[in-house]
Amino acid sequence: MYPEDLRFTKDHEWVRVAGDRGTVGITDYAQKQLGDVVFLELPDAGRALKAGENFGTVESVKAVSELLSPVAGEVVEANAALVKGPEAVNTDPYGAGWMLVVKLAEPAAVAALMDAAAYKAFVESESK
């Protein structure tokens, strides 16, 4: 699953851009690696993030993983429903599994992230 409208990072986060807003989550590959997600910690609205900065934690039954922001900007909204029901990270990573909406500091910087084809190739090389 590599939706064409997203951009991806090597840390397996995605961002979907609409205007000056970016919606952020983790990829289908990342959720499969983690297994059943049972815990999520997300930042409050208003937090300023740099690209690559740690913005929270996702935990499966067995593993703890840091969340790294694919973009720079200010957190507009964190997905409160996902904190209550983190299993959506597994069942719908590109939909209900969204984590943050960020007001992008540099919308143009998103173009430097991998597109679906490049990310697919990256995952295939990593899982070899």
Partner 1 sequence: MESAASVLRKTPLYPVHRESGAKMVPFGGWEMPVEYSGLISEHMAVRTAAGLFDVSHMGEFEVSGPGALAFLQRVTSNNVAKLVDGQAQYSALPMPTGAPVDDVIVSRRAADRYLLVVNASNIDKDYRWLQDQEPTGCELRNRSDEFALLALQGPKSQEILQGLTSLDLASIRYYHFATGTVDGSEATVSRTGYTGEDGFEILVSADRAEPLWRKLIEVGQPLGLVPAGLGARDTLRLEARMCLYGNDMDESTTLVEAGLGWIVSLDEAKGEFLGRPVLEPQKKSGPPRKLVGFEMVGRGIARHGYPILLKGQGVGAVTSGTFAPFLQKNIGLGYLPTAQSAVGTEFDVEIRGRLVPARVVPTPFYKRVK
Q: List contacts with partner 1 (CB under 8 A).
A: 35-36, 38-39, 41, 57, 59-62, 64
CB of 105 to partner 1, least distance (A): 26
CB of 115 to partner 1, least distance (A): 28
Q: Rounded to an integer, what is the distance from CA 90 to the centroid of its chain? A: 13
CB closer to partner 1, 53 vs 115? 53
CB closer to partner 1, 41 vs 53? 41
The residues that bridge with 101 in the sheet, in sequence order, are 23, 77
CB closer to partner 1, 24 vs 40? 40
Q: From its phi and psi, is residue 91 left (phi > 0), alpha (psi between -120 and 50) or beta?
A: alpha
* Rounded Cα–Cα distance for residues 126 and 43 (Å): 29
